[in-house]
Structure 1
Amino acid sequence: MKFCSNCLNPISSKDKRAIALIQKEYQKDNNPWFLGYSGGKDSSALLTLVFNALLEIQNHHKNVTVIYCDTGVEIPTISSYVKDTIKSLETEAKDLRLPLKFNIVKPKLDDRYFVKVIGRGYPPPTNIFRWCTDRLRINPVKGIINPNENSVVLLGVRMGESTERDKTIKRHNTNSKYYLNQGSSTKTKIFSPVVNYSLKDIWSTLKYNAFPYSIDHSLIGQIYKDAGSECPVYKETKGTPCGKGRFGCWTCTVVRKDKSVESMIANGHDNLDELFKFRNWLVEFRDNPKYRSTVRRNGTPGLGPITLKGREIILDKLLYAQKQSRLDLIEEQEINRIHELWTIDINSDKYVEA
């Protein structure tokens, strides 16, 4: 075991036990391993433990695939940090000959946030109609994992994070305290070596392990100070997908007030100001009946999709925010698909606005 030469404390006995557990589970069979990574503290601590476990194994008989889901609407500052970290981790793992592979996945084009909202006229998500988490985060990851038989998904889920999380963990318990059933799937098991870690344990893991050097605990700490906590990367159960302090989408309208981005702006991330203004405007625009169809897509009366005029207004506002912030907020292929969907609605007898 290698220790951090610049640290006052050695690696904790809890970390040593977790690393030994990971080594044992890794070596016992050929089942494929996938690690859900968001860049947040828990997934970073988990990746740290797996990295150190693999360092001590002589013969690596299978890869561990680290998956990050780029929803397209991540807070740009955090998304850049995560992608830079992954790039550094790839180099570090290659130099150390570790069987770590990294996969950045994206939602299908028609499932992306702005294609849904601006192209199809989906109202931005609410607590009642929260369509975003599955399409943007869960499904892209499941698309990589589910085709593999008897796969093991490593997640940084912990007891003590919240009452709701504790209930979910207990509901999906198995005979092993480190394994959870994965919703309705019988092919996949969730493995969490940090399930009994406290918040203090997590930060200790990040601070006192010398490897991987690509994960900077002080930088993660600064991001949390600026932004908040993280959203899930692999989940089937119902419940609140993200905490009040979020480490996720800058477009999130599930919460009435986005304290995370507001806090980041207050802490010097001025380029997020236009995004914050756009998101707040979108919350109000969503509920304006003037720009909502009075017929749903199934033909029944009721509050339906955002009108074509309303979608044009949203796209114009978004492109303005992109220009002012100098951040890439929407891809060209998304804009092209949006215009295709508008044409489909214009030419469809089934689409009715009033």
Structure 2
Amino acid sequence: MAETPYSIFNSRTPDDIHREIQEVYLENARPWVIGYSGGKDSTTALQLVWYALAELPEEERKYPVYVISSDTLVETPVIVNYITGTLERLEAVAREQKMPFQTDIVRPKIDDTFWVNLIGRGYPAPGPHFRWCTDRMKIRPANKFVLDRVAEHGEVIMVLGVRRGESATRDQVLSLHNIQNSLLLQHSTLPNAFVYAPIVDFSLNDVWFYLLNVPSPWNNDNKELITLYRNSNAQGECPLVVDETTPSCGNSRFGCWTCTVVTKDKAMEGLIDSGEDWMLPLLEFRDFLAKTQDPKQKPKTREHRRRNGQITILNNKLVHGPYTLKFCQELLKELLNVQKLVRKEGPDPNIELITDAELEEIRKIWRTERQDWEDAVPQIYAEIVGDRDWIVDDTISFDEKDKKILTAICDKKGVPVTLVSKLLDTEQQMDGMSRRAKIQSRIDKIFHEDWRSEEEARNELNKLMNNDSS
């Protein structure tokens, strides 16, 4: 006789789950923060909470419920539109029905965005061993929102759509942070924040069964969500990430269209195959970024020094640093070309793949940290998009003509032009300050960088390898 498949609904009804949610809400006089990613699990958790609180008298619905979504500014556009529409409808229905729900979208600080770090600072495309994006773009913004609510209310309860069995790491975390005789978990990193997981014992089939049989209370069509999963080949979703144990993304997932942590973006490929062919330039740009992770491509696209100015040799190999300024300029050109194309071919003629604020920040970083005396960002933008007003830059007085003169002198004297450029930039940035105590340490730091050329570094590496083999 075949064993009956596990289902939460074999032992509990939706009403039972509603009563549990009501109990947690009423017994813990704290505001709630619900992480909503637009995917199946977070939608199920959010619907259950809504229906449970809707059954309470209005006077008992007195603790605010914040529904937050994370926008990294490089989310897959189709998903962004779906989430934005959902939050707008949810907010409207909450007002009509006097429900305690408020919506918010959390975004990274301008200094932490994908393009500011990749194109501005030259951070290489993220990979499994250097995933610099998750903490900056997802964890910090969500945690800041939670900590702000903690500062306001003293404590908060985070409601997450996590399920047991999603991963061994997740199961371990769920058991380690359990509070005895409580449905709440202690948050692993945030003080005074507790976690409640109403669908922790749901199976995957339970989630889909619930969504197909229980209508959305804010007038979404859950069948549209199923279609989105089907079209994107998505076996998982990119959840709201609040700590390092939460998986950033699965192999087929809703997430950032720029993600190079995975080998192939099956979700975006699926959306394109299902008719969203205007997204093809996004996929091609993402694949282009992924190819820069190839060891053969690194000498062509990356500095031979690390961002700290040092040359690193590991296992008799040169460890490459950030993308070169020249390559970053090529990336910016290509990104603006892709934006121009998807505005023309896609449903939104005003879509922003990179914001004006990011362009200004990249310009500042190139000018003050990467010796871009040519001031390339406005030139590149004018070439691809057209003219626009830029913030007047009075931090650097050197220009393209000065760079040519300096390059000629440095070449003649055999001095690295970047060394002299950095020294001049440092002096210029400190000029006029009443206290110049730090300038000597900044100059010393520049002189202590490794100013060998890549050719010199490789020649020394070859000598070392020859000595080791002899």
TM-score (norm 2): 0.70
Partner of 1:243: 250
| Aligned twin of 1:31 | 30
3-state SS, counterpart of residue 193 of structure 2: strand
**Cα distance per residue 1:317-354 (max 9 Å; x no partner):** 11111111114211111111111111012153548785
Instruction: Report deviation, 1:286.
Output: 4.3
1:185 alignment partner, SS class: coil
Q: What secondary structure sits across from 1:189 in the alignment?
A: strand
Q: 1:183 touches 1:237 (CA, 8 Å); kept in 2?
A: no
> SS of 1:140's equivalent?
helix
> Does structure 1 conserve the Cα–Cα contact (< 8 Å) formed by 2:112 and 2:136?
yes
Q: Secondary structure at the match of 2:422?
A: coil
Partner of 1:5: none
Q: How far apart in 2 are the matches of 1:134 and 1:223?
A: 27
Shift of residue 13 of structure 1?
4.3
Question: Could you tell me whether the CA contact under 8 Å between 1:48 and 1:205 is conserved in 2?
Answer: no
**Greater relative CO, 1 or 2 (CA 8 Å, sep 6+):** 1
Of the three residues 333, 338, 344, the one matched with 1:316 is 333
- Deviations along 1:199-254, one digit per CA (max 9) or x if unpaired, are 12212222222441433210110111122121231332347421111110010000
Residue 181 of structure 1 and its aligned partner are, at CA, apart by 2.5
Task: State the shift of 1:166 in Å.
Answer: 2.5
Q: CA deviation at 1:274?
A: 0.4
- How many angstroms does 1:174 deviate by? 2.9
| Greater mean deviation of Cα atoms: 309-318 or 285-294 | 285-294
* Cα distance in 2, alignment partners of residues 240 and 322 from structure 1: 29
Match of 2:265 in 1: 258
Which stretch shifts more, 294-303 or 166-175?
Answer: 166-175
1:275-319 CA distance string (max 9 Å, x none): 000000111134422221111122321311111101001111111
1:100 pairs with 2:101: yes
Deviates more, 1:196-205 or 1:244-253: 196-205
Q: 2:203 aligns with which of 198, 201, 205?
A: 198
Q: Pick from 310, 317, 323 the counterpart of residue 306 of structure 1.
A: 323
Moved more, 278-287 or 268-277: 278-287
The C-alpha deviation readout for 1:143-200, integer Å capped at 9, x for no partner, is 1101313211000000122334323323333325743232133311110011001112
Letter in 2 for 1:306: Y
Are 1:270 and 2:277 an aligned pair? Answer: yes
Match of 2:69, SS state, is: strand
* Residue 63 (structure 1) shift: 0.7
Structure 2 stretches lacking a partner, 5+ long: 1-8, 313-319, 344-350, 372-420, 424-445, 455-470
User: How many angstroms apart in 2 are the aligned matches of 1:91 and 1:290?
Assistant: 52
- Is structure 2 residue 135 aligned with structure 1 residue 134? yes
| Kept in 1: contact 2:32–2:65 (CA 8 A) | yes
Offset at residue 137 of structure 1 (A)? 1.0
Write the distance in 1 (CA, Å) between the matches of 2:55 and 2:175. 32
Compare 181-190 and 343-352 and name the one that shifted more: 343-352
Cα 1:221/1:210, change in 2 over 3 Å:
closer
**1:186 match: secondary structure:** coil
Residue 348 of structure 2 is aligned to residue 348 of structure 1:
no
Q: How does 1:177-196 map to 2 (within 5 A)?
A: 178-196=183-201
Contact 2:239 2:247 in 1 (8 A): no
- C-alpha distance in structure 2 between counterparts of 1:56 and 1:239, whole Å: 32
Note the residue ranges of structure 1 that are not aligned, 5 or more in a row: 1-9
Read off the aligned partner of 2:422 and give its amino acid letter: S
Q: Structure 1 CA distance, aligned partners of 2:89 and 2:239?
A: 23
Structure with greater helix percent = 2
Counterpart of 2:238 in structure 1 is 231
Whose Rg is larger? Answer: 2
Q: How many correspondences in the alignment?
A: 344
Instruction: Output the CA distance in 2 between the equivalents of 1:335 and 1:194.
Output: 42
Percent of aligned pairs with the same amino acid:
38
Write the deviation string for residues 126-157 of structure 1: whole angstroms up to 9, x where unpaired.
Answer: 10001111111111011110131321100000
**Counterpart in the other structure of 1:333:** 357
Change in CA separation of 1:286 and 1:333 when aligned onto 2, cut-off 3 Å: farther
2:300 aligned partner? 290
Supply the distance in 1 between the matched residues of 2:166 and 2:307 (Cα, whole angstroms): 40
* TM alignment of 1:40-119, pairs within 5 A: 40-58=39-57, 59=59, 60-119=61-120
**Aligned Cα RMSD in Å?**
2.0
The whole-number CA distance in structure 1 between the counterparts of 2:167 and 2:341 is 38
Moved more, 228-237 or 51-60: 228-237
Change in 2 beyond 3 A, CA 1:278/1:86 = same
CA distance in 2 between counterparts of 1:176 and 1:85 reads 35
